[in-house]
Structure 1
Amino acid sequence: MRTGNPALKESTFLDLGTGAVVRRDGDAMTLNGTVHKTAVLLLLSVLTAAFAWSQVQFTADGPVGAGPYLWGGAIGGLVLALVTAFKKEWSPVTAPLYAIVEGFFLGAISAMYNHLYDGIVMQAVLLTFGTMFALLFAYRSGLVRATENFKLGVVAATGGILLVYLATIVLGLFDIRIPMIHESGLVGIGFSLFVVVIAALNLVLDFDFIETGVDAGAPKYMEW
């Protein structure tokens, strides 16, 4: 079982002493509980994103007021993500906090991009939700199945993309650019489409992980 989310691992469902799957018939993870908590996290993110957006002003010298939300959201989100990955039982607290600080980050950076490219944020939001619901439908209807080979392929492709972007960042420090893939030509467009497809397919892994967690009787905090 694999997932694109580093906070979710198969060992979460195992008893550390016996190595067997732990079933919690009482206070266990449920599909409805996961859906409800996801809605809460989404609402928190939207509220703080809207607030951060409203605080960003634009002058002749550039955007004003975005810095604290950008850096605070990015650094705070990284710290909370790491805490959640290592202390999953804290997720009822860390997950809402993560949603709040990421909302600040997304709101600020979205305001900046929308100022540069009017309307691009709404298009991105609609495409994101459209992709999520389309893949959820495909998964629930059986059109896309999270087989072991499918999971291995998606994880391998995701790792490859991560290495490419890490190499881009490191080489950029020495003023070296990787040609073609980050340009507006056919290769660059094709690479971008490939990245979008792999990112979308990671949702299927998460859908499968949630379903497996429910079937295994994962602890209640895993709903977060």
Structure 2
Amino acid sequence: MSLNSKNPFLNNKTFSSTAVSKRDEVHHATIIDYNEEMTLSGTINKSLILFLLLTASATVIWWLTFNGMNPLVAAIGGAVVGLVLVLIAAFKPQYSPYLAPGYALFEGLFIGGISAIFEVKYPGIVVQAVGATFVTFMVCLGLYKYKIVKVTEQFKSVVVAATLAIATYYLISWVFSMFTSFVPVHYGNSLMSIGISVFVIIIAALNLFLDFDRIEKGVEQKMPKYMEWYGAMGLMITLVWLYIEFLRLLSKLNSKN
């Protein structure tokens, strides 16, 4: 049984169905334009574009925050619109060339607003979180590239199961905290809370391996060119998740000082 990446953009169903349609297209075509196929370099370029858009958007909110604007509205608005674009792209990946840049811009509002809120309370935390995210990404990329970590079906099943468990726990905790006086155990700076944050970061990092594997498989299957945007957008989602979790962990550690 083939298991999916938790990241909705890099799941087997979407990539497999796209690959089938691409094979049909090649089978009936007289002339094949290989410039219209997904490539690794193209996906990397799209990822860099999304990163620059997200950074630019986050920088604007960051600057406005430290010039008197309340970043909460921008952060919430960016998160909501970003989620909507994610859901649309999950069902309509062919629109990814338009949805992915939009996601990066609106997610930048969220990242910029949240980062500014944390920075005000814990000066220097954003640089630490960015550095930790970058180092984690490079380490995971190196481990994957040199086949030190191999993405087997068993590996996928463990990561997917753990990710689903985290998502379920977060959802239940949020619902209970909204309507009751329940305080989730991952709140605060207790050892239990810090341990949970470390565990979530590890799982988020492991999702990067699934993302790398799915992008590589997409290139091998010669998927349509728009899947470069789709893959880049999925990878960006994982990196945003990883960055937010680093912010939360660092805030807990700083609050104990």
Distance 1:151 1:9 in 2: 11
SS in 2 for 1:3: coil
Q: What is the aligned partner in structure 1 of residue 152 from structure 2?
A: 147
Return the offset for 1:108.
Answer: 1.5
Change (3 A) 1:127 1:96: same
Which amino acid in structure 1 is aligned with residue 77 of structure 2?
G
TM-score (norm 2): 0.79
- Cα RMSD of the aligned pairs, angstroms, is 1.9
Aligned partner (choices 4, 7, 17) of residue 5 of structure 1: 7
What count of residue pairs does the alignment treat as equivalent? 217
Q: Secondary structure at the match of 1:7?
A: helix
Task: Provide, for residues 81-127 of structure 1, a one-character-per-residue CA deviation record: whole Å limited to 9, x for no partner.
Answer: 11111110000000001001111111111111101000000000000
1:15 & 1:94 partners in 2: Cα distance? Answer: 20
1:15 and 1:90 mapped to 2: Cα distance? 16
Structure 1's 15 and 109: CA in aligned 2 closer, same or farther, altered over 3 A?
Answer: closer
- Structure with greater helix share of residues: 2
Instruction: Tell whether 2:131 aligns with 1:134.
Output: no
Pairing 1:73-112 to 2, within 5 Å after superposition: 73-112=78-117
Q: Give yes or no for contact 1:12–1:218 (8 Å, CA) kept in 2.
A: no
Task: Give the 3 Å change call, closer, same or farther, for CA 46–178 of structure 1 in structure 2.
Answer: closer
Report matched runs for 1:1-224 at 5 Å. 1-15=3-17, 20=20, 22-23=22-23, 26=34, 27-57=36-66, 64-173=69-178, 174-179=180-185, 181-224=186-229
Please say if residues 31 and 211 of structure 1, whose CA atoms lie closer than 8 Å, have aligned partners that are also in contact.
yes
**Structure 1: runs of 5+ lacking an equivalent:** none
Question: 1:78, CA displacement in angstroms?
Answer: 1.1
Are the aligned partners of 1:8 and 1:85 in contact in 2 as well (CA < 8 Å)? no
Per-residue CA deviation, residues 154-193 of structure 1 (Å, 9 max, x unaligned), is 00000011111111111112111244x4343332222211
Separation of aligned partners in 2, 1:167 and 1:12 = 28
Could you list the structure 1 runs, at least 4 aligned residues long, displaced by more than 6 angstroms after superposition. Answer: none
State the distance in 2 between where 1:14 and 1:192 align: 33
How far apart, CA to CA, are the structure 2 residues paired with 1:175 and 1:34?
46
Corresponding letter in the other structure for 2:4 = R
- Identity of aligned pairs, percent? 43
- TM superposition shift of 1:20: 4.5
Residue aligned with 1:220, SS = coil
Q: SS of the residue aligned with 1:64?
A: coil
In 1, the alpha carbon distance for the partners of 2:198 and 2:108 equals 26
Return the alpha-carbon distance in structure 1 between the equivalents of residues 224 and 92 of structure 2. 13
| Contact 2:10–2:215 under 8 Å retained in 1 | no
Unpaired stretches in structure 2, ≥5 consecutive residues: 27-31, 230-257
In structure 1, what is the Cα distance between the partners aligned to 2:15 and 2:71? 41
Match of 1:42, as an amino acid?
A: F
